[in-house]
Structure 1
Amino acid sequence: MSGVQMLTVGSGEGDQRLDRWLRKRFPHLTQGAIEKMCRKGELRLDGGRVTSASRVAEGQTVRVPPLPDMAQPAPAPSRIGRSDEAMIQAAVLWKDEHIIALNKPPGLPSQGGSGQGDRHVDGLAPALAFGYKDPPKLVHRLDKDTSGILLLARTDRVARGLSEALRHRNVRKIYWAAVAGVPTPRAGTIKFGLVKEGGRGDEKMRAIHPREVESTPGAKRAMTEFMTVENAGGRLSWVAMQPVTGRTHQLRAHMAEIGHPILGDGKYGGSAQENLGDGWGAGVGGDLSRKLHLHARTLIIEHPITKAMLTLTAPLPEHMKSTWRYLGWDEKEAPLDPFEDWA
């Protein structure tokens, strides 16, 4: 085992995720080991606690705890099976020499973690190299059960540009969801703050009234714009949402807090039948998928290299297409950007 190391983020190494910075220096480190060091407070940035997603800046000092002997050979990289290779390549929506955009399938994690193994977007990225020496890099994430647009950068320079745009909200993200009930009013802004309610790993977020955010330890302000596109009687609605902030589980927690949980969201709203209320177990509820009905539909961002506006739209996953067909909802009824005229 090596001793504690105090490492400095060098020139050109800034503005990237801590876990990526670490793996470049210590290729033998697994994502799970990095997450564990963060949880235990052993890995620190300028003396402060961090998460694997914390971003490093040039000149910062990273405290690295004792690691296995670097002379020990790193485990052999896992092979990507043909079916997984075909699946992830079929998910490519758009690509150029700088960016790859995926339509992430529901159920596929963005990154590894406890018990996830290598079957996640990050682990499958080598199948998306398409002739490049290095695999593309994730610049943001979606929840495991959320489908839709996910961006990967093919070079470090592009990763920095996309990360900067995402961090400064120079991007428009429009999500679609099927929710229980019909929101009243049919459009508006949700401003409840959010705070972690659970422990490690798969935490749950609790909504906090805006007036109580500052006085609640760990709470962060959050804002979501929403618009009802269509409804099926009074039991289900098709809602478009735009997250103004980017908190964990924000859309799911916000819709549940206003009384309209997302269909199939067991964490925040119960199963499909429970979301629909009494009397629908043998009706519409019995015919709808229990999978989460949340989809990152559209993303509008300035290309970091060409500076052209890039507008990407991801088709609905099969379980949501089935629900839309069953309820008679037409995807063409929703504008590409329903929030375009909002102040």
Structure 2
Amino acid sequence: MTVLHQLRRALLKPPSFTQAYGGTRTLTSPYHTENNSTAFIKPDDQNNRKTQGKWLTLPPFNTTINGASLGKNIAGIRQSTGEGNESTTTAIKWVMRCCPQLPRSLVQKLFRLRQVRRKPLESSNSVGDVHASECQVKRVSAKDSMRFGDTVYLPITVEASPTEKTECLCTEEELKFLHDLELYKDSAIIVINKPTGMPVQGGIGIKRSLDELAGTYMRYELSEAPRLVHRLDRDSSGILVLGRTQYSATVLHSIFREKTIGASNIDLKSEKRFLQRKYWALVIGSPRRPQGLISVPLGKVVMDDGRSERITVVENVSTTASQHAITEYRVLDSSFHGLTWLELSPLTGRKHQLRVHCAEVLGTPIVGDYKYGWQAHKKWNRIQIASSNLEHKIEVCNKSSLPFGLNLESGSIADKQPNLHLHCKKMVLPDVSSAIKQACISSSDYDFADIKSLKFDAPLPPHMQRSWDILSS
């Protein structure tokens, strides 16, 4: 509180631009890095910097390819030159890109107190030319659009501001476990194999999430934190993609969004799809057909207690808010125990889509899904397995020694209460890193249909692998 109080007092002082531009601190442009990171980059020679200056100079704004437009082009939705290809960036977004280490609340406060300045390109001969540029430096609002060459100035006191979050400490074992989850990494994305039971995002009662852990320990050479671009339920597992920069995350968001929007126009027989996801699930029962397409609207229903909700199939879309959800499925293997392995390919990305489609449409709820398949689990005649046949497959694990408190060794169909058997097994994703580099060196008319695809395959989690071994024996 003391630091923030001192910062507020400093910010409320009227600025002196004669001194400001005589002792400004300039940041290197973040777009000159090879990996297109928008990271905050400090000058190399800090010993020669003047400390009496009152302003921190951000890099001049560079017009960049709009990330959403690039995502659409990668998805095959062609846009003509000049049609939304240039990014519309507000002043607050530019500050957050250049200074990702600053708390968002502080940046908002700077704009609210009118302590952020902007100088247009055409008015400046040089940063130190006070007489030529002083009258052109004006206050800028958070939502004002940036123009090419605009230079933004922040009070120098922001350098002493506290960081937004305190780093969550990990043991060496936990840190090794976290990095072992990595399946792939390049300049644009990180792909990890999310374990069962680890939450993707923080919330009530959640101390550490993958979002927070990745932001702290998976930045590597970048000062930007990786960003989520899609979700997996806490109890599910498998391939999870994160964008390493704000720009790459915007491109990926657009790709996943266009996948859902254009699902009804997808040629199911075509092998060329810009985004493919395949989940493996063990379900109770067996579908009537070995393969098929599920296409039904889903809606949200609030339960009687008023605090919980669930997703369900909507019968009358004219009276109930809904979203269309499409899933391909095929049988991988059937067991005489009344269980079936399915491969599920969601063509849209709706909340709990696969779980509801299995439980309510196919009538085969996923093993371990007690939210949508509680009645089926009550009626399920559990498998009685002789322990002598599984001694070499099931190992007893000390739960207290597991990283992040996860219980990775139990939850198969041999246990009293199986974990959710839903795993994102495979994914095909456009090479976003190559697309971004190509967009930077080529015109907007470049045909991204030739961009290569990245293919990922995540091994089954321990509890599902044991269930597979049990049913295969």
| TM-score for both structures, normalised by structure 1 | 0.71
Q: Distance in 1 between matches of 2:192 and 2:162?
A: 33
Structure with the higher helix share, 1 or 2: 2
SS at match of 2:323: coil
Moved more, 275-284 or 190-199: 275-284
Aligned match of 2:211: 122
SS at match of 2:324: coil
What's the CA shift string for 1:183-206, capped at 9, x where partnerless?
111111112211112368763101
Equivalent residue for 2:224, pick from 134, 139, 144: 134
How far 1:286 sits from its partner (Å)?
A: 6.1
How far 1:277 sits from its partner (Å)?
A: 3.6
**Length, aligned pairs only:** 274
Distance 1:235 1:135, change over 3 A: same
Q: Is the 8 A contact 2:187 2:433 kept in 1?
A: no
Q: Is the 8 A contact 1:139 1:163 kept in 2?
A: yes
Distance 1:325 1:25, change over 3 A: same
Aligned pairs (5 A) from 1:185-264: 185-198=289-302, 203-209=309-315, 212-213=316-317, 215-233=318-336, 235-257=338-360, 258-264=362-368
Distance 1:24 1:78, change over 3 A: closer
Q: Distance in 1 between matches of 2:370 and 2:238?
A: 19
Distance 1:286 1:127, change over 3 A: closer
Distance 1:73 1:222, change over 3 A: same
SS at match of 2:193: strand
Aligned match of 2:429: 301
- Structure 2: state its 5+ residue gaps: 1-87, 109-142, 146-157, 260-273, 387-411, 435-450
- Structure 1: state its 5+ residue gaps: 1-7, 30-56, 60-69, 330-343
Q: Distance in 2 between matches of 1:178 and 1:123?
A: 30
Aligned pairs (5 A) from 1:1-343: 10=90, 13=93, 25-26=104-105, 77-82=166-171, 83-117=173-207, 119-125=208-214, 126-169=216-259, 170-198=274-302, 203-209=309-315, 212-213=316-317, 215-233=318-336, 235-257=338-360, 258-270=362-374, 274-275=376-377, 277-280=379-382, 282-283=384-385, 287-288=414-415, 290-306=418-434, 307-328=451-472
Q: Distance in 1 between matches of 2:414 and 2:298?
A: 33
Q: Distance in 2 between matches of 1:128 and 1:316?
A: 23
Q: Distance in 2 between matches of 1:221 and 1:58?
A: 36
How far 1:74 sits from its partner (Å)?
A: 6.6
SS at match of 1:168: helix
Distance 1:303 1:203, change over 3 A: farther
How far 1:282 sits from its partner (Å)?
A: 3.6
Q: Distance in 2 between matches of 1:94 and 1:235?
A: 37
Q: Distance in 2 between matches of 1:221 and 1:76?
A: 38
Q: Distance in 2 between matches of 1:202 and 1:94?
A: 36
What's the CA shift string for 1:278-322, capped at 9, x where partnerless?
543545996156100000011101112313201111000000000
Q: Is the 8 A contact 1:80 1:127 kept in 2?
A: no
Q: Which amino acid aligns with 2:90?
A: G
Q: Is the 8 A contact 1:28 1:74 kept in 2?
A: no
Q: Is the 8 A contact 2:298 2:313 kept in 1?
A: yes
Q: Distance in 2 between matches of 1:281 and 1:244?
A: 33
Q: Distance in 1 between matches of 2:241 and 2:144?
A: 24
Q: Is the 8 A contact 2:331 2:342 kept in 1?
A: yes
Identical-pair percentage:
33
How far 1:181 sits from its partner (Å)?
A: 0.7
Q: Is the 8 A contact 2:103 2:163 kept in 1?
A: no
Q: Which amino acid aligns with 2:245?
A: T
How far 1:97 sits from its partner (Å)?
A: 2.1
What's the CA shift string for 1:12-39, capped at 9, x where partnerless?
949x9xxxx9x9632699xxxxxxxxxx
SS at match of 2:292: strand
Distance 1:286 1:242, change over 3 A: closer
SS at match of 1:264: coil
How far 1:73 sits from its partner (Å)?
A: 6.0
Q: Is the 8 A contact 1:261 1:268 kept in 2?
A: yes
